[in-house]
Amino acid sequence: MILEPILNLVSICSQKGVNNVILSPGSRCAPITLAFVRHPKIHSRTISDERAAAFIALGMAQQLEKPVALVCTSGSAAYNYAPAIAEAFFQQIPLIVITADRPPEWIDQWDGQTIRQEEIYGKHVKGSFSFPDDFQHKDKVWHANRIANEAINLAQQFPAGPVHINIPLREPFYPNADEQFNFDSKVKQIDAISTEAVITGETKEKLKSKLSKFNKILIVPGQQRPNEKLQKTLDQIASLNKAVVVTDTISNLQSEETVNFHDHFIGNTVFQKDLNPDLIISFGKSIISKNLKLFLRNSEAEHWHVQQDGYSPDTFQSLTHTIQCQPLSFLKFLEENMASNEFYSSSWNLLEEKIKNNLPKVFSQTEFGEYKAIASCLKFIPQHAKLHVANSMAIRYVNLLGIRKQEVICNRGTSGIDGSNSTAVGCTFTTKDPVTLITGDLAFFYDRNAFWHNYSMPNLRIILLNNHAGGIFRLIDGPAKQPELEEFFETKQTLSAQNLCKDFGFEYHYIADEKSLTDVMENFYHKSLNPKIIEIKTESHKNAEILKWVKAKINEGLL
C-alpha cells in the first residue's frame, strides 16, 4: 500500500545526505513516517510536540550543516512548526518540512484536521511544493520525484533555508502486516553543482581603487559558526592595524585581536568622533548590540556587505555595495590592499583594554545577581563545549562579558524566546561534547516540552536564571516607567524547575548565593547519566540595579 513516490522521496533524502528526521505522531502522515523509519540509512526520532520538534530539528541542522527532515500530520500540527521555520529562514538553516494533508477535494469541507496547508509558511520558506494527489499516471510519479529533488537542492543552495513539501494522502494509510518496503537505490537524482564565488582580476582593480578612498575601516562580522580560516585572516588584519574588527559573541570570531567589549562604550558621545569609521565592511548575519547598530547608523560611513548570493539587508542604512563572493576571498583581498591606520586602531583598542582590565575589579565589588552569576559560570564552561544562550537578558549579559572560546549559539534569526531549550536538545543529538544552555525563566518554562521525549542527553547542562519575571522590561524605558510593569510586561510567575527535574529525571541544584554556585560548578561538568540543571534565584528589580551600577562604574573607568 505504501506509495512508490513516498518511498522515492525518502530514498532521495538519503542520497542527498538528509539522514536525520524528526517525526511527530499522527495518522494521516503514517505512510511518510513508516517510510523514514524503515529506511536503513536514516536515523528517525519521535518528538510529540511539533513546536519543540521543529526547533530540535533546527538545532541538529545547525550543527550538522546538512538538512534535517520534519514530518507531521495534517491540520494545526503543521502550524506549530512555524516559529522554528521562521528562525531557520533568517538563520539560513536547511530544513525539509514535510506535512501530510487531506486530498484537495476535502479542503474547506469541515473534515477533521483539515486546514489550508498549501504555502502555509508564506515567505518564511525558500520554496513551497505540493505533491500530486494521486500516482496512477507515470508522469505523476515523475513529477513527485522531480519535486523531491528540487526541494532538497533548494534547501541547500546559498543561502540555505527551510523548504516545504505538502503531501495530500488518501486512506488507507497503513500497509498490510506482511508488506515489504522496497527502496529504489537507483531512483533518479538531480544534483545542483555549485561553484565558489571569488573576486576576479577586473573586480579586484575596481575595488582597489574604491578602497583607496578610505582610511578608517571597521569590519563587523554577523552571526555565523566558528571558522578558523576567517579567524586567522581577521586577526592578521587587526594586528597590522589595517582595520578594526568589532565582534559580537554570536559572530564566533572573537579573539585577543578583535574588539569584544564594545557594548560598554559604543554610544558614549565622548568617544564618538575618534571611533567613527568611513567604511563599514560586514559579512554574516545579524548582530546583537543595539548600541553598535545605532552607532553605525549615525556614522555616515559607507557600508559594503559581503556574501556570495541572496538579498543584502541595509541594517545600518548606508549600504552602497553588495559584494557577491565568499567572505574569506574578500578578506584576503583586503589584507593585501589596505594601508595601516594605527591611530584609528588605537582609539578602539585603548577603550577595549581599559574595560578588560577594569571589569574584574568592578565584579569583585558587585552584589550577587544574575549578571555576576553568569560571569562566574562562564569561567567553568569547557572550551570545547557548545554554548547555547536564550534571548532577552541572557545573551546580552554574555555579550557584555567579552571574549568567548566556546561556539556560541543563539536564535537571533527572529530573536524570540521560544525554542531555545529545544535547539539545545537538538544540538545534544549531534555531539558528545558538553552542551550548555544559559536561559531565563520565561524562555525556559515556555519551551519545557523540549525534554518530553525518550532520548538520553547526558551531555546537557542548563544554567537557569529564575527571577520569576521578564526582567528585561525593567531596562526598557517605556515599560519600566509604567505602573502596569509587573503584571502586564514582566509577567511575574512562581514556577521552579524542581518539579520539571523530577518529571524528566534531571539532576537539580538550587542556588541563591555566590559560594553555593561556585561549589556546584566545580563538579557540574563531571560525566553523568542524566542532564543537570542549576536554578539560580535572583530578584528582577535587584538585577536591574546591579546592571546599571556596573555600567556606571565601567564608564567612570573610561573617562
Nearest to 154 by CA among 223, 99, 100, 97: 97
Domains of the chain: 4-168 (3.40.50.970), 201-353 (3.40.50.1220), 366-558 (3.40.50.970)
Distance CA 467, CA 456 (A): 29
Give me the helix-helix angle, 30-38 and 4-15, nearest 10°.
40
Q: What is the pLDDT of residue 492?
A: 72
What's the confidence (pLDDT) of residue 488?
A: 63
Cis before 172 (ω within 30): yes
75 contact partners, CB below 8 Å, separation of at least 6: 112, 113, 114, 115
Q: Which residues pair with 165 in a beta bridge?
A: 98, 129
**pLDDT tens-place string over residues 196-229:** 777 888 888 889 999 989 999 999 999 999 999 9
**Residue 18 grid coordinates:** 538528509
What is the spatial distance between Cα 319 and Cα 145, in angstroms, rounded to a whole number? 41
SS3 call for 389 = strand
CA atoms 166, 170, 171, 173: torsion sign: negative
Report how far residue 276's alpha carbon sits from residue 300's, in angstroms, rounded to the nearest whole number. 8
**Looking at 288-370, which runs of residues are DSSP E strands?**
302-306, 319-323
Pick the closest to residue 391 from 436, 451, 348, 443 (CA basis).
443
Rounded to whole angstroms, how far apart are CA atoms 485 and 388? 29
Q: Which of 371, 410, 408, 364 is nearest to 391 (CA)?
A: 410
Q: Write the pLDDT tens digit of every residue in 471-522.
A: 666 666 676 667 766 666 667 778 899 999 999 999 999 999 999 999 999 9
Query: What does the DSSP 8-state code read for residue 257?
Result: T
CA 370 to each of CA 244, 440, 511, 542: distance values in angstroms, whole numbers, following the listed order = 31, 9, 11, 9
Q: CA 166, 167, 171 angle in degrees (round to 5)?
A: 150
pLDDT at 472: 65
How many beta carbons lie within 10 A of that of residue 191, not counting itself?
9
pLDDT at position 108? 86
Which residues is 281 bridged to in the sheet? 219, 304
Strands 127-130 and 162-168: parallel
pLDDT at position 480 is: 67
Single-letter amino acid, residue 257: E
* Residues 136-171 pLDDT 10s: 888 888 899 999 999 999 999 999 999 999 999 988
First to last CA, the chain: 76
Single pTM value for the model: 0.94
Nearest alpha-carbon partner for 197 in 238, 139, 165, 157: 157
Spans in the chain with pLDDT lower than 70: 1-2, 469-477, 479-481, 484-490, 559
